Each structure stands twice: as C-alpha cells, then as structure tokens.
Amino acid sequence: MEENNNVKERVQKLMAQANIGSRRACETLIEQGRVKVNGAFITLGDKADPATDTIEVDGERLHFDTQPKRYIALNKPRNVVSSNRSQHGDKRSTVRDLVPVEGHLFTIGRLDAESDGLIVLTNDGELANKLTHPRYQHTKTYKVTVYGLPTAEALHQWETGVHLDEDGMTAPCAVQVIKGDKGFTTLRVIMTEGKKRQIRRVASKLGFPVRHLTRTHIGRFSIGTLRPGEWRDLTQDEVKALQMTDPAFRAVRQQTRTRSNDPRRSKPRRPQSRRPKR
C-alpha cells in the first residue's frame, strides 16, 4: 500500500507547532538524534502525519493540541530578562513574570536586559521561526541614543556592514539621524538580523557607545502607547503588520546595491605589462 505523503509534513515543522521550540531548534534536536517517529530515529527532512504517526522527543510523545493561537505585545522594561526563565542565581524578573498566561510562549525579538521596548510572545511556533530566522529578512526598528555625533563615514559603514569578532560582518541595515549634537545623537536603526548585543557592539566599535536603546517596531507593528511593563493581545491585522517589511529598509538595500556597483568606489586596476615583441 502506498503512503499518502499529501498529509505528511516535515517533522521539524510539526515539532514547532507542538511548541517544542523554533524550527531551527527542532532541526538541531533531529540532528542530535533525539527524535523518533514510530520508534525509529529520523534524519533532517523526514516527514510524518501527526494524526497517525507517533513522534517522540527524548522519549516523550508529542501532543498536538488545538488551542487557539495567541499573540501578545509587551513593552519590556529595562533590567528584565527576555528569556522564559532566569538563570540560577539571577533574581531579575523575566518577560514571563510580566505576562502570566498559561502555556508555553515563544519570545520574538529578544532584548538584552539593559534595553527596553517591544517584544512579542506567542504560542505560534511557525510564526516565531519566520520572524526570527535571518533568511526571512523581517525588520526590527530601534530608537538608539549614542554618545557623540557620528560622522557620515561612520553611518555609511554601519549601514553597509561592520566586522564583529566571532560573528563576522553584519548585514546591511538602515541608520537615520533623528536629532543630534556633540553630546548625544538619536538614531533610527532598522535591521533584519540580531546578533548578540549587535547594536551596542557596532556603535562601540565605531566610537559612539550606546546610551539608551529601545525597540519601537517589529515589521510595521509599532509599540504604540504601551507603557513599560504593559502588555496586550494583538488583532489579526496587527499580526499581519508584524510580517511586513519596513519600507525604509528596502530603500537602504537599494542604496547599498547602488554604492557597491558604483565604478567610482571600485579599486583601480593595475596596468597590464606587455611583453616586448621579438
């Protein structure tokens, strides 16, 4: 009898739907040999039908509930940890302490403890993966106050990429000056990636350390009037806005391509020596 593959889906996708983790994290679990389907270990790319197949992670069977998807916006205050649980000995509050709802929630758009602003919590593992994986290039927008007044050259370097130790080059981003003087400058930064403490590391490397950092948008969804520590459920239209790219980022990508193709910015070629004719 032939298998009906039309109802089967990749196991990492099903694991994310069961709130095991993001799809990337689920792929890692499969590669580590911790996932079985019908008693047999699987490899990345294998498919299963949750209605008829038994999927196990570390020996525990997955259960696929029918709970409605929930999407929550939180204005994370400073000195609050973005993870679901604090590390041993860390007495700081977590985002889950501020959002005491039942069930596992993924955190979209983690922020370091010193930063504040928009974080989204959801039980939708599929959407969490799409909004956090760099290949989807979803934008996040920040209001950043730095010490000093960045030069045009520094802003250009920030937009086109800065090399960070252990992480390599940063991806292109949009950096706009909102206001500034010799003391402090407020910037609007739009990014599609989020290496650990990336904005702070880039700003420090360029010579303009961060004084204050707030995330204002994920996609085109704005934090709006939420006060620090407040949270609320999102509407369906707002969930769609999360997945929409900020138009300012498209503009900077076009500018980056134009600059990279500008012949005036290319290195001059060395003249080729010609051998004398015999």
Q: Which residues are catalytic?
A: 112
Asked whether the beta carbons of 214 and 228 are under 8 A apart, the reply is no
User: In b/e form, how buried is each residue of 35-58, taking b as 16+ CB within 10 angstroms?
Assistant: bbbeeeebeeeebbbbeeeebebe
Residue 241: strand, helix, or coil? helix
CA distances from 47 to 28, 35, 53, 126 (A): 16, 12, 10, 16
**Pure H helices in 5-79:** 11-17, 23-31
Asked whether the beta carbons of 55 and 37 are under 8 A apart, the reply is yes
- The pair phi, psi for residue 168, each rounded to 5°, is 75, -155
Pairing of strands 231-233, 168-169: unpaired
Of residues 211, 44, 219, the one with CA closest to residue 130: 219
Residue 230: strand, helix, or coil? coil
Q: How many CB atoms lie within 10 A of CB 258?
A: 10
Pairing of strands 71-76, 140-147: unpaired
C-alpha span between 75 and 43 (Å, rounded): 39
- The pair phi, psi for residue 66, each rounded to 5°, is -115, 30
